Amino acid sequence: MTKLSININKIATVRNARGGNNPDVTKAALDCEDFGAEGITVHPRPDERHIRYSDVREIRPLIRTEFNIEGNPIPSFVELVNEVVPTQVTLVPDAHDAITSNAGWDTVKNREFLAGICSQFKSKGIRVSIFVDPDPVMVRGAKECGADRVELYTEAYARIYKEDPAKAIEPYVRAAEAAREAGLGLNAGHDLSLENLSYYIRRIPWTDEVSIGHAVICDALYMGLEKTIGAYLDAIREGYPEK
């Protein structure tokens, strides 16, 4: 069954808005695990406007599930990942001033660069996922780069889903099938929510992991973190047919 990894960036955003340590990001990560999350995701950026490099160092030895670090493999990010050795690193081509991730890698044009990064991280025993748009060419390119998985950028799916779920999922099914044919693991993330998650899983049940942050924290404002994580786990289960 698809694993749920909680991205805790938004919790750090709230903390940073006032300074101090409220809410406690490390405690939040551990609480997410206690509430059923099967992984914790962080996406540190150079300006540290949410998750800080120091957070990553503090959280890493305490995580009991899987720890996924996302980011653009600039030198400081590469150094951090090599230092803390997470379960998984997700390579994302976001600019330093991007509000949020907004595109996947061109794995063909950047093959040489990505292959070198993949090789370096895999030599440390880190699983490598490359963030890509739902394009079979980019998926197959990730395989050529040496990635273990791809993460499909699901912003377009979430946007189109409200009008036409079948149309929204179509390119993702093709990309997911390309990943399976290439022997790649499959992740998904960005704008997945309680509204659209079950349908995504139903159509692509071989998805290994979804990483969700913004929607989880928004829902938690009303339902509380524990109930929200439970609701997302239920949504994943609802995506699988009864046996």
Residues labelled catalytic = 43, 70, 190
Give one DSSP letter per residue of 9-44, joined into a string: HHHHHHHHHH-TTSS-HHHHHHHHHHTT-SEEEE--
User: Which residues neighbour 135 within 8 Å (Cβ) at sequence distance 6 or greater?
Assistant: 104, 171, 175
The answer to whether 129 and 89 are in contact (CB under 8 A) is: yes
> How many whole angstroms separate alpha carbon 123 and alpha carbon 80?
15
The answer to whether 189 and 151 are in contact (CB under 8 A) is: yes
Nearest CA to 39 among 155, 100, 154, 127?
127
